[in-house]
Amino acid sequence: MTIHGAFRIGLLGGLGVLTAMLIGSAVITLASVITYVGFALFLALGLDPIVRYLVSKQFPRWLAVVTVVVSVLAVFAGFALAIVPVIAEQMTLLYQGILDFLTSYGSLTELETALQSFIPLEVLDVHATIQGIIQFLSDPANIASIGGGVLSVGATFANAALGGFLTIMLTIYLVVSLPSITRAVYSVVPASKRETFVGLAEQVIKAVGQYVIGQGSQGLTNGVLSFIALSIIGAHYPALFAIIALMFSLIPLVGTITGSIIIIATQYLVDPEHPMLTLAVAIYYLVYSQIEAYVIGPMIMNRAVKVPGVVVIIAALAGGALMGVLGAIVAIPVAASVLIIVREVIIPAQDKR
């Protein structure tokens, strides 16, 4: 190899590395946009089965799309108008209840003693913890950092609200344009392989749509049953806790357990004088979690996406590690799509060898 040849190879290799770095930097910069588009596509695929069902009932495509979009927006609007005032009121009562609990003792020492009576010293030294908090808040530099953190949280909330609005708009657009988008994608596939590709794509779209509908139904079931059960039990803030249960149920595997622990702990915190009430709430969520784990969850996974349990666990853990909560939610239908490709493409190709 000549010096000039080696130089050319090194130059091309360096340009390749530089191009890869530029592409990686662009992907990182556009990560939030890619996340919005990906999640909107995920939701659009979830709404597509409903549109197809209406079309099968002799609805024109445009009317089916308008019906689904208007219904979704109406549900969100009605949900907000009905629940937000109740949640705001109950959050105010929750804050006041916690404040009353913290101020019901004559001195800080009495409060520490009361808290330590509930928490073993081996688990948490309440006195040392409170003194550490007081010392931290006594430093002006820490106060400044807290103020900056509050501003950062406000900016994060604003970005999240903007992201939610953009996701809803993108979802509506994708629901309307999904047939034209799929046709455009199918058209770039060679004609000899197009039929196979279309069949695989339709199976993937169906699996994702069924999973979204199933997971949403599971969350709605948990929220509604939580509101009914907590109201019957006489627990505090049933509407607020029902929303927490609904939102956490959308997270695969650990969502229901995490939401239940938060609800039980908060219930005890706001009413420590009635431990039997907290016990009743804990028993309800213990029973419901078993029903969801052995009846509702498997029914959704087996009928919607047909993913083995071990793959569900691995996919959810991997998705959560890579992209957080959204990654955990999206990971299971992605795993189902991979399994469809393996079953329909790779295994038949191996059998022909």
pLDDT digits 0-9 by tens, 222-267: 888 888 888 888 887 787 788 888 888 877 777 888 888 888 888 8
Q: What is the pLDDT of residue 315?
A: 72
Say whether both 154 and 261 belong to one domain. no
Looking at the domain assignment, is residue 3 inside a domain? no
Say whether both 54 and 167 belong to one domain. yes
Q: What is the pLDDT of residue 233?
A: 86
Looking at the domain assignment, is residue 107 inside a domain? yes
Say whether both 301 and 318 belong to one domain. yes
Looking at the domain assignment, is residue 135 inside a domain? yes
Looking at the domain assignment, is residue 13 inside a domain? no
Tokens coding 345: 């493409």
Say whether both 215 and 321 belong to one domain. yes
Looking at the domain assignment, is residue 281 inside a domain? yes
Specify the number of domains making up the chain.
2
Looking at the domain assignment, is residue 4 inside a domain? no
Domain ends where: 188, 206, 241? Answer: 188
Say whether both 130 and 198 belong to one domain. no
Say whether both 276 and 184 belong to one domain. no
Say whether both 337 and 200 belong to one domain. yes
Which domain does 100 fall in, by range? 29-188
Query: pLDDT tens digits, residue range 10-53?
Result: 777 777 778 877 877 766 666 667 777 777 877 887 788 888 88
- The 3-state secondary structure of the chain reads CCHHHHHHHHHHHHHHHHHHHHHHHHHHHCHHHHHHHHHHHHHHHHHHHHHHHHHHCCCCHHHHHHHHHHHHHHHHHHHHHHHHHHHHHHHHHHHHHHHHHHHCCCCHHHHHHHHHHHCCCCCCCHHHHHHHHHHHHHCHHHHHHHHHHHHHHHHHHHHHHHHHHHHHHHHHHHHHHHHHHHHHHHHCCCHHHHHHHHHHHHHHHHHHHHHHHHHHHHHHHHHHHHHHHHHHHCCCCHHHHHHHHHHHHCCCCCHHHHHHHHHHHHHHHHCCCCHHHHHHHHHHHHHHHHHHHHHHHHHHHHHHHCCCHHHHHHHHHHHHHHHHHHHHHHHHHHHHHHHHHHHHHHHHHHHCC
Nearest to 304 by CA among 241, 226, 218, 237: 218
Residue 217's pLDDT band (cuts 50, 70, 90) = confident
Looking at the domain assignment, is residue 203 inside a domain? yes
Say whether both 184 and 197 belong to one domain. no
Looking at the domain assignment, is residue 204 inside a domain? yes
Q: Is pLDDT above 70 for 193?
A: yes
Arithmetic mean of pLDDT, 201-227: 82
Query: pLDDT tens digits, residue range 293-346?
Result: 777 777 766 666 666 666 667 777 777 677 666 676 677 777 777 777 777 777
Say whether both 173 and 205 belong to one domain. no
CB 218 within 8 A of CB 249: yes
Say whether both 217 and 319 belong to one domain. yes
Say whether both 46 and 166 belong to one domain. yes
Between residues 216 and 105, the one the model is more confident about: 216
Say whether both 175 and 195 belong to one domain. no
Domain ends where: 152, 172, 188? Answer: 188
Q: What is the pLDDT of residue 101?
A: 65
Domain ends where: 149, 169, 188? Answer: 188
